[in-house]
Structure 1
Amino acid sequence: MEIDIKSLEPKQIYKLMTSIIVPRPIAWVSTVSRDGIYNLAPFSYFAGISSDPPLLLISVGSKETKEKKDTWQNIEDTGEFVVNIVTKDTLEKMNITALPFDKEVDEFEKAGLTPVPSSIVKAPRVKESPVNIECKRFEIIQIGKMGIILGEVLKVHVKEDILNEKGYVDTTKLEIIGRLGGANYCLVSKENTFELRRPDKR
């Protein structure tokens, strides 16, 4: 079957792409507004794109009213945000923060999560997440209704019990959640991962 992308509506294209580009890590982004209101929302168009400088990317859409989503607006206004990692233990609470709350609503409070101070940025970290990445805005590129946000990584907080002997994160201990198409997710755990080393050049 061949699918002509030009014959599809944007919503259909979104559903097709998100069912193919899987699994996707989830950036659970915490920000604070100019009025001091905490915001927390998940985004699965998310990737690390450079290590020198250390940059990551999240793609944030617009509201149905065509206004920028609170995450986008807050990053534009303050220049700061934190990416928190979603795990099996935080999945249900992450799902609550995906709801389209009004900008005056504190999603930490709604989801029963604990905001804790970051070291550098004003945006809070999610205490319940084992990994928090403090970022400052590097650049925002607007493409149609989407904001492509590049963030420079300033500091990473990692719970010690998920580190390996080399000081890196042992991903098999994270029980990290990945996004699939529609309402489907996947769990990365020790039982469903495997190791594959690169072959020697011959």
Structure 2
Amino acid sequence: MFYRPSEGHGLPHNPWNAIVAPRPIAWISTRGTMGDNLAPYSFFNAVAYTPPQLVFASTSAKADREGTKDTTAQIRETGVFCVNIVSHDLIEAMNATSAPLPAGADEFEHARVAKAECETIPCPRAAEAPASLECRLVQIIPLLGKANYLIHGEVIGIHIRPDCLQDGRFSPPDRLARLGYRDYCSVTETFELARPEDT
């Protein structure tokens, strides 16, 4: 089939949500004047090595947050945030934090997620995450469409759970990813591939 997104797809579910996949999940924690917040975002990736940088997109709004979500509102306020990586054992807690709670509600408490303090920024992190990336905001870029924003951050501190370091490499038991719709996957099988310049 072929379709133009501006004209609709005619399917019961939007295929765009599942075409670019799997997508890693940024479980983002923030702290603002209204309290602590924790929410998952699957439009997320690393974009540079030196200095390490990442981006994620916030794509809708809440009535109590003036045209955006709690996460973006608090990043605008403070200029910092933490990206927590999600493993399969945290999937139920991660899903619980996606609930549209009122602004100011603490998703850490709602989902019973253990909280720890970051080292370089005034922000909480998910204590049991395989890794947590402390970020300083670089820019918030408005995207096409209503309430669509790209948040660009520089990673200035990295926490790695001790059991996720194997022979000097970051090697968590699994990595959770979103496939679109309500579909997820847990990546447990990996392989190495030599680049042409390695031979």
What TM-score do the two structures reach when normalised by structure 2? 0.90
Aligned counterpart in structure 2 of residue 156 of structure 1, from 155, 158, 165 = 158
Tell me the CA shift for residue 200 of structure 1: 5.9
Moved more, 138-147 or 57-66: 57-66
Q: Which amino acid aligns with 2:94?
A: M
Correspondence 1:173-192 to 2 at 5 A: 173-189=172-188, 192=189
Q: Which amino acid aligns with 1:6?
A: S
- Find the aligned partners of 2:42 and 2:111 in 1 and give their Cα distance: 19
- Find the aligned partners of 1:54 and 1:199 in 2 and give their Cα distance: 25
Count of aligned residue pairs for this structure pair? 193
Q: Which amino acid aligns with 1:181?
A: G
**Residue aligning to 2:14:** 15
Q: Which amino acid aligns with 1:125?
A: R
Tell me the CA shift for residue 162 of structure 1: 1.4
C-alpha spacing 1:201/1:67, structure 2 compared with 1 (3 Å)? closer
**Residue aligning to 1:77:** 77
C-alpha spacing 1:201/1:114, structure 2 compared with 1 (3 Å)? closer
What SS is found at the alignment partner of 2:163? Answer: helix
**Residue aligning to 1:110:** 110
Correspondence 1:1-202 to 2 at 5 A: 1-8=1-8, 15-35=14-34, 37-65=35-63, 67-143=67-143, 144=145, 145-165=147-167, 167-170=168-171, 173-189=172-188, 192-199=189-196
C-alpha RMSD over aligned residues = 2.0
Identical pairs, percent: 37
C-alpha spacing 1:150/1:201, structure 2 compared with 1 (3 Å)? closer
Report if aligned partners of 1:34, 1:78 keep a CA contact under 8 Å in 2: no
Q: Which amino acid aligns with 1:41?
A: A
What SS is found at the alignment partner of 1:92? Answer: helix
1:95-150 CA distance string (max 9 Å, x none): 00011111121000000011111101111010121211000101100113211000
Report if aligned partners of 2:28, 2:84 keep a CA contact under 8 Å in 1: yes
Q: Which amino acid aligns with 1:194?
A: F
Q: For structure 1, which runs of at least 5 residues remain unmatched after alignment?
A: none
C-alpha spacing 1:64/1:77, structure 2 compared with 1 (3 Å)? closer
